[in-house]
Each structure stands twice: as C-alpha cells, then as structure tokens.
Amino acid sequence: MKDCYLGVDIGSISTKGVIIDDENNIIASSYIWTEGNPVNSVKKLLEILKEKLDKNYQIKGIGTTGSARKLIGLMLKANIVKNEITAHAIGTLTFYPNIRTILEIGGQDSKIILIKNGIITNYAMNTLCAAGTGSFLSSQAKRLGINVEEFGDYALKSKNPVKIAARCTVFAESDLVHKAQVGYPKEDIIAGLCKSIVLNYLNNVGKGKKITPPIIFQGGVSKNKGVVKYFKEILKEDIIVDENSHLMGAIGIAVLAKKNKNGNTYSLEMKNLKFQTKAFECNHCSNNCELLKIYRNNELVDSWGSKCGKY
C-alpha cells in the first residue's frame, strides 16, 4: 500500500478536499458547496474522494483548515488543525518557493500574506464587510441575470468600465442597480465591479502593505478573469494564478498532515458516523457561558465555551 494524506479546507461557502502522495502530487481532489452545514458537506466530500482514490492508497494523515477546522478536525480525528494563513502559505511555498505575496479572495473573506525567505512576515484579513468576496460576486451575477462563471468573460469585453462604489455591499448594490437602470452596458457594469473589487481589496486588506513580486492570486475569485486583469493593471505586475488556486489551503494542510504523521491509518468512511453538537447555557455562575458539547457516535469528545473550566 502507498501512503497518502488528506487536507480539508472548510469555508463558509465552499468545502475543499485534496489528497496528496509522498511527493506532494495531487491524486484526488474535490470542491463542493458547504450549504451552511459543514458536517454534511465533509461527509459528502469524503464520499466523492473515496470514489476517486485508488484502492492501493491508504490515508496516513488528515489535516483541517478553514472556518470550521476545529469542528471537522474532531470529526475526522485529524492529526493537525491549522489556520488558513498557515495553510495557504505552506501550500503556496510547496510549489512556488520564491513567492513574496499571496493575494486571496474567498467566499466570505479575503486575505493578504507577505513572505520573505519562505517565512510569513505579515498578513491581514478583511474586516466585517464581505464586499468584494465570492458570495458578493455571486449575488451580483444573479442580479444581472448571468452565470458567475461568465463574469470574467463579460468584464474582458468592456472598453469603458463604470465606477462602482464597492467599499460596502449595500452601497455597491445600490450603485450597480442605478447604473443598470440608467442604461449602462452590462459588460461595462461588470468590468467596473471587477475593478472596484480590486481597489477595495488593495485599500482595505492591502492597506499599508508592501506588495512585492512574485505575486500569486488564490481563492475562488482568482478564477474570475476580470479581477485578475485589474490586479495586473493596477499593481503593474504579473499575477500568477495556479490551476489549483482554489484548493491551495487544502493542499497546504495536506502537506502539514504529511509532515506531522503519527503512524495512524485513517478511513474515509464517515457516511454512517453520528456527529452531533448540542448547545446549552450554564447558569452555575455569573458568567452564564454559552457552551457547545460535541458528540462522536454518542460519545462526548469535547466541549467549548467554558470560561471557568468547569466543562
């Protein structure tokens, strides 16, 4: 049997899974929607990966990252759980050891990671507003009556992108509606939206950061040709977009799972696993903690939220 390693990146919008071998080759991968239920989406993801994985491979490490990394880490008994900044940096440096700047725009968040000599020197994430993220783009595509996959193609047709105020989702939507109502061509509106996303990112997430080449663009939005175009134009630099840019977090955590393997062999069979969370409020002291108990096949495996340590 050959060894392989699973990385799972569970985000608010999408769930990504990658299986790599000892040489960091991707031997199976999948990208599905989280649909507000990370447990069910991971179960579905594992069924897909199980079908794709050659029977001669055995899973010797599992890593989780993303917003639901701790929860899914318990579910899968992962041997490593790390944040998205670390996972994206490791995944990128595995294939691009000389990279200096990582630009990443996902479903509901965006981040910038600065690297020097293979070490993270600075990073930042977007604040509360989701303007300019994947979910924002999807909602605007629906409003304009086009498929989000066609967004970039429309943007490339434009010769005169309109100005869209994308600093806030509410203002951006009202501005976009106004521009459509007064008769601006659809491709100019879409191009303007793509350009405003780049400007919003650089003025918010990238504020005060020295963006040094080589630069790589990741996350689902990196598949949008219009956004890539305006990053290149505004930064006046070449932008690398890897074919697996949307999977880089999962790749990175899979690499870390390989580095931290503990000799255990893991199963992808989770279809019949009973994994539950139960919330309750503790009134034993003035803290009134909101607690979450986590059960795996009816066995309590962890509890979160206790300030005094009672649970």
231-280 pLDDT, tens digit each: 999 999 999 999 999 999 999 999 999 999 999 999 999 888 888 888 88
Of residues 81 and 152, the one with the higher pLDDT is 81
Q: For residue 175, what are its two tokens? A: 């501005």
What pLDDT is recorded for position 168?
64
In which residue are the tokens 């994308």 written? 166
Angle in degrees, CA 121, 124, 130, rounded to 5: 160
| 135 or 277, greater pLDDT | 277
Whole-number pLDDT of residue 152: 77
User: What percent of the chain stands above pLDDT 90?
Assistant: 51
pLDDT in tens, 10-44: 988 889 999 999 999 999 999 998 988 999 999 99
Q: What is the DSSP letter of 223?
A: G
Distance CA 206, CA 209 (A): 5
pTM value is: 0.88
What value does the mean pLDDT take over residues 146-174? Answer: 76
Least confident of 175-189, 197-211, 212-226: 175-189
pLDDT top residue among 143 and 8? 8
* Helix ranges (DSSP H) in 96-150: 134-144
Rounded to whole angstroms, the maximal C-alpha distance in the chain is 65
Average the pLDDT over 54-58 and give the result: 94
Helices and strands in the chain, H and E counts: 9, 13
CA distance 64 to 87: 9
pLDDT at 238: 97
Dihedral of alpha carbons 133, 18, 152, 202, sign: positive
pLDDT of residue 127: 63
pLDDT surpassing 80 at residue 228: yes
Comparing CA positions, the residue from 108, 83, 107 lying closest to residue 31 is: 107
Is the Cα dihedral 226, 231, 233, 238 positive or negative?
negative
Q: Which domains does the chain have, with CATH numbers?
A: 2-91+250-259 (3.30.420.40), 98-241 (3.30.420.40), 275-304 (no CATH)
More confidently predicted of 175 and 92: 92
Alpha carbon separation from 258 to 49, 98, 161, 183 (Å, rounded): 18, 22, 46, 55
